[in-house]
Chains A and B, each alone.
Chain A
Amino acid sequence: MRSKAKFIGISLFAAISVAACGGSSDGGSSTMTKLGDGEGAVNLIAWAGYVENGSTDPAVDWVTGFEEETGCKVNVKIGNTSDEMVELMQSGEYDGVSASGDASLRLIAGGDVSPVNTDLIPNYADVYEGLKMRQWNSQDGVSYGVPHGRGANVMAYNSEAGAAPTSIRDMFDPASPYSGKISVYDAPIYIADAAIYLMATQPDLGITNPYALDQKQFDAAIEALKVQKPMVAQYWSLYTDQQASLEAGSITLGTSWQVIVNLASANKPSITAVKATEGATGWSDTWMLSSKAKNPNCMYMWMDHIISPTANAAVAEWFGEAPSNAKSCDLTADKNHCTTYHAADESYFENVWYWTTPTSTCLDGRTDVECVPFTEWVNAWNELRA
């Protein structure tokens, strides 16, 4: 009995020491130079609405054709927040991810994604130059993925519930007519929305970039969120939750994505959306390749497929965003789609703040102060929600 106990003790100790040393082991895979045969499957992490195989809506399908053509069966896991996507990528179980800027930089820094050889992706040539090799999809002149599309986080609302909102104040001001029926995106990055509100309402705080907040600015943003809390009926992370509540009427205004609004308005036409006049947070997404990808060839084929004019147009219309491939604009069902979503209109995106990861080095170029890094954003958000 005693020797048994000792044995168990030893194995436990061994297990713990392994845990202590078992940090990340980077795959160290070098960039591909030649595309091989497909592996038969590809495992993706994606935003809701990015990988549709007809199961949400039989008419919405840009996956089945790809599967038939390449023999790569597409398995998709919906990531509800950027943080969740980073966590899932760290598991090493997936081949690729549609990462927003607040995930892509962390994935690159963590060694979870590999550089991508864009020469192996023919459709990359047609991507808007303004989206290529930006700070959220490249590092030291090396590309880490292909741009998928971009857009702004909108305010979804029920047009039967009163005057249409135009300003972000309707989300934060206690006098908002929507108070008590407001829906908020449940992720630390939402603190940036509060910062945009402060940029408009408290200019003396001197916020110039909602992702570069010094301690004082950050505290003010948290304060605004605390004031907002009693007005909130729902913090959503599952997009379908917000959609269901919009349809049921238990919320009438919320930070949203166009795709949610499209889905909800199909069942309840009074649901619609607007971009706040003060500006909004937004995204510019990148398909990235896992450094532990088990199906890299299929992932390259997927990256080429998803930015092909047909698929890119279909995603852009379904999700409600500006496509990344210039040729997509001719293929959208709504011929005005690219104009509506300002695909080539850089000025529209001037007050759209793409999600990015806050760091202690201020992103707005200030050097006299330290900014609050993302881990503190996470902690503050957890405390706020607790």
Chain B
Amino acid sequence: MTAVAGAARRLTAFFRARPLARLFAVLGAPLTWLVVVYLGSLALLVASAFFKLDEFTGKSNGQLTFSNISAVVTKSAYRSLMLRSVLIAAAVTVLCLVIALPVAFYISRLASRWTKRGLIVAMLLPLWSGYLVKVYALRAMFEPGSEFGSGGFLKSVVGWSPGFGYVAVIFTLTYLWFPYMLLPVYAGLERLPNSLLDASSDLGAGSARTFWSVIMPMLIPSIAAGSIFTFALSLGDYITVKVVGGTAQMIGNIIERVLLAPNQPLAAAFTLWPVGIMLVYLAAMARLGAFKNL
């Protein structure tokens, strides 16, 4: 026992005298993983976008080329696909926000203390019910059918369904990722002191004015944090598009398609789009204070 305690003491002394060694002992493993395994893979991916493909066998022949990158950047069909994907991700984000604001406001400010906790947990729990479960559940909701076959739940019960297409994709993605927006907005509202809102109304501001001039500016970092997830998760999704999208296509679909073509270098070139878009997006959201709220 004393020997162990002595060793522990010597080790403590060793690390106390050497803060760098201490840092590496703790940080070394996770940093190595993130840098070597993850960033290393990303770097390899970027590098592979410059390889030329043998046109027949679908294998890299070792020569270098810029043609993959240039095809991905210059072809108008691909550019409009990227634009469309960004717009869809933006639409989902806005829709999530529009739904999250009133709901979060109600839960945070108006619900009784007892229902509050229950409500927020109830809103977040579906996140854990399984991605595919939810996507297929919505397929069962949206199935449009026709005069030659009965449709899904919406068609039969409500009499209307958006059918399979971009609208269904946006609805489904909103359904999937909404809790990621709700939570930070709710947490942001919780942090607002009551006195601040009271002060606003004491100074004569109506509830609308208080909302736009006092609450919203303070919620920006929370919204930015939530939007990272709603935007990123929507931008890269391709399974939802396949299941409820009909003929719709997004970035993820073309990456999968090209990868299976098989044209790995071109697929790698395509991944540069979402990577670039997300880096820009993350930088913008960081400026809005998103990372303090992650």
Contact = CB atoms under 8 A, between A and B. Distances in A.
B44 A19 contact: yes
B260 A16 contact: no
Interface string A221-246: 00000000100111100100100000
A81 B260 contact: yes
Given A16-B44, A23-B59, A106-B56, A83 B247 contact: no
A385 B80 CA distance: 12
A87 B261 contact: yes
Contacts of A386: 77-78, 80-81, 249, 254
B44 A250 contact: no
A20 B47 contact: yes
Contact of B257 (A86, A233, A234, A382): A382
Contacts of A181: 146
Given A15-B43, A249-B147, A250-B164, A23 B80 contact: no
A160 interface: yes
B62 A23 contact: yes
Contacts of A4: 24
A53 to B, nearest CB: 23
B246 interface: yes
A158 B148 contact: yes
B149 A268 contact: yes
A385 B149 CA distance: 27
Contacts of B247: 229, 232-235
B144 A382 contact: no
Contact of A383 (B44, B75, B242, B263): B75
Interface in A1-59: 1, 4, 8, 11-12, 15-16, 19-21, 23-24
A100 to B, nearest CB: 15
Interface string A328-361: 0000000000000000000000000000010100
A111 B60 CA distance: 13
B48 A19 contact: yes
Given A15-B40, A160-B148, A249-B147, A87 B58 contact: yes
B254 A87 contact: no
Nearest to B253: A385
A86 B149 contact: no
Q: How large is the interface on A (under 10, 10 to 19, 20 to 34, 35 or more residues)?
A: 35 or more
Interface in A210-269: 229, 232-235, 238, 241, 247-250, 252, 268
A383 B77 contact: yes
Interface stretch (A287-295, A316-324, A370-378): A370-378
A247 to B, nearest CB: 6
Most buried by B among A90, A234, A378: A378
Interface string B28-54: 000000011001100110011001011
Contacts of B56: 105-106, 109-110, 357, 359, 373-375
Contact of B262 (A90, A229, A373): A90
A161 interface: yes
Contacts of B58: 83, 86-87, 90, 106, 110
Contacts of B59: 23-24, 90, 110
A126 interface: no
Nearest to B257: A382
B254 A374 contact: no
A8 B32 CA distance: 8
Interface string B236-263: 0000001000110100011001111111
Contacts of B75: 383
Contact of A8 (B36, B48, B150, B249): B36
B63 to A, nearest CB: 10
A379 interface: yes
Contacts of A270: 148
A302 to B, nearest CB: 24
B60 A385 contact: no
A114 to B, nearest CB: 15
B125 to A, nearest CB: 29
B75 to A, nearest CB: 6
Contacts of B151: 248
9 contacts: A19-B44, A83-B262, A90-B59, A90-B262, A105-B56, A249-B147, A250-B145, A373-B56, A385-B249
Interface of A: 1, 4, 8, 11-12, 15-16, 19-21, 23-24, 81, 83-84, 86-87, 90, 105-106, 109-112, 158, 160-161, 181, 188, 229, 232-235, 238, 241, 247-250, 252, 268, 270, 357, 359, 373-375, 378-379, 382-386
Interface of B: 20, 24, 35-36, 39-40, 43-44, 47-48, 51, 53-62, 71, 75, 77-78, 80-81, 143-151, 163-164, 242, 246-247, 249, 253-254, 257-263
